[in-house]
């Protein structure tokens, strides 16, 4: 095998330069290198989190979106989506079911839907916090003003997921319409950090046009932002987008990057994503075996699940919440880990 100083350096220093990340990526199919990175990632994950796996109950509460991200199945420009919104009471009912099943974090995710004004969002957050004071609330509702983020925080939100999608300006341009900007997305992430949220950034692996240099930029950006959570999953085409004929991202490269990110940010909360489970029937178990420590089962009402279709063939759209919890629990145990009933905050 070639000289692996760049791997030693990552393990020792937890950060690299862009040129070094590019060099590291050359090892992505080298069995020995992949094995070393994986072993170190698992060692760190066990040092900080033992064999615990945290669960987040995902509530996809609206599939309306004012944005038009070219890769996304529910973007505004797709006329074939049957749109839905959940009421405050329906969202609370999802939380009740979830609480009974052991969830202590609820993730409210949706398109950027102007129906949910800041005040409506704050009211939903307050209602959840009042009924479930021992639970964490994670929001994933896109780009807002710093004032909106502050209002949500004051209402009780704890965490925020906003993938940066790609840290390269021209790649960002090719995936999004002109009215969106990488600068604003990054600004949102820094605002959220400043406001005291536990923040999650991330990107799709194998998104259309993505190069290894882009991935190296993504890793550098994560190194700069130091998010508490990182969401990465393979890109999967959706039949009603301009990228319908593109290839899906690589499961192996996603697994490689999960290990790298665990080593870069040893205490990070790192989900084994649904997209990974969609491309490979054991994708989520594999994710846990290379450094991931979070799973995000679906708590949305079964009748809405198929309508929140970001990409084709999304798994877990037919099961009741209880079935999802049971299935995930068995999968997690089969990988040698244990699903816990805890908020699972980031270690600082």
Is position 58 an interface residue for ligand FES (rule: CB under 6 A)?
no
Binds ligand FES by CB under 6 A, chosen from 67, 148, 213, 214: 67
59: partner contacted, choices ligand SAM, ligand FES, none (Cβ within 5-8 A by kind): none
The C-alpha atoms of residue 113 and residue 122 are separated, in whole angstroms, by 14
Task: Spell out the residues 6+ positions from residue 313 whose beta carbon is closer than 8 angstroms to its own.
Answer: 236, 278
Phi, psi of 344 (to 5 degrees): 65, 55
**72 contributes a contact to ligand SAM by CB under 6 A:** yes
List the interface residues with ligand SAM, window 143-202 (CB under 6 A).
162-163, 165
Maximum Cα–Cα distance across the chain: 59
Interface residue with ligand SAM, options 106, 197, 235, 337 (CB under 6 A): 235
- Cβ closer to ligand FES: 70 or 343? 70
Element of type H or E holding 42: helix 31-49
* Other beta carbons within 10 Å of 182: 20
- Interface residue with ligand FES among 36, 45, 75, 331 (CB under 6 A) is 75
* 112 is an interface residue for ligand FES by CB under 6 A: yes
Residues 103-132 as x/- pattern, contact with ligand SAM by CB under 6 A: ------x-xx--------------------
Least CB distance to ligand FES at residue 262 (A): 27
Nearer to ligand FES, 75 or 284 (CB): 75
Question: What is the side-by-side strand order in the sheet with 57-62?
Answer: 57-62, 105-110, 136-140, 159-161, 198-205, 229-234
Q: Of ligand SAM, ligand FES, none, which one sits near residue 140, judging by CB under 5 to 8 A according to partner kind?
A: ligand SAM
Nearest to 37 by CA among 221, 342, 255: 255
In the DSSP assignment, the letter for residue 232 is E
273: nearest Cα among 251, 300, 247:
251
The binder of ligand FES chosen from 7, 37, 65, 124 (CB under 6 A) = 65
Give the H/E segment covering residue 54: strand 52-55
Q: Which of 55, 78, 138, 140 binds ligand SAM (CB under 6 A)?
A: 140
* Interacting residues with ligand SAM (CB under 6 A): 71-72, 109, 111-112, 140-142, 162-163, 165, 204, 233, 235-236, 238, 275, 310-311
């Amino acid at each position: 095998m070639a000289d692996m100083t760049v791997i030693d350096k990552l393990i020792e220093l937890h950060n690299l330069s862009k040129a070094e990340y590019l060099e590291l990526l050359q090892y992505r199919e080298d069995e020995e290198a992949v094995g070393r990175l994986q072993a170190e990632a698992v060692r760190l994950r066990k040092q900080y989190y033992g064999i615990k796996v945290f669960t987040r109950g995902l509530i996809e509460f609206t599939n309306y979106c004012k944005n038009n991200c070219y890769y996304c199945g529910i973007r505004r420009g797709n006329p074939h989506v049957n749109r839905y919104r959940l009421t405050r009471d329906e969202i609370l009912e999802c939380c009740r079911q979830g609480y009974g099943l052991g969830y202590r974090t609820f993730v409210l995710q949706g398109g950027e839907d102007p129906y949910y004004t800041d005040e409506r969002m704050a009211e939903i957050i307050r209602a959840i916090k009042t009924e479930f004071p021992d639970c964490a609330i994670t929001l994933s509702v896109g780009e807002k003003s710093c004032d909106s983020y502050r209002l949500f925080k004051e209402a009780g939100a704890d965490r925020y997921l906003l993938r940066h999608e790609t840290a390269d300006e021209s790649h960002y341009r090719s995936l999004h319409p002109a009215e969106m900007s990488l600068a604003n997305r990054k600004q949102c992430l820094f605002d959220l950090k400043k406001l005291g949220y536990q923040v999650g950034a991330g990107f799709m692996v194998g998104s259309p046009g993505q190069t290894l240099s882009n991935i190296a930029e993504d890793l550098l950006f994560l190194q700069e932002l130091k998010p508490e959570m990182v969401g990465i999953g393979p890109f999967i085409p959706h039949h009603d987008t301009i990228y319908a004929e593109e290839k899906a991202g690589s499961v192996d490269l996603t697994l490689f990057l999960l290990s790298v990110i665990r080593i870069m940010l040893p205490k990070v909360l790192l989900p084994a994503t649904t997209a990974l489970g969609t491309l490979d029937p054991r994708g989520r178990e594999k994710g846990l075996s290379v450094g991931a420590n979070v799973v995000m089962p679906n708590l949305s009402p079964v009748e809405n699940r198929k309508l929140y279709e970001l990409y084709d063939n999304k798994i877990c759209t037919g099961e009741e919440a209880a079935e999802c919890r049971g299935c995930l629990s068995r999968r997690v145990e089969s990988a040698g880990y244990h699903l816990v009933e805890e908020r699972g905050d980031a270690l600082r």
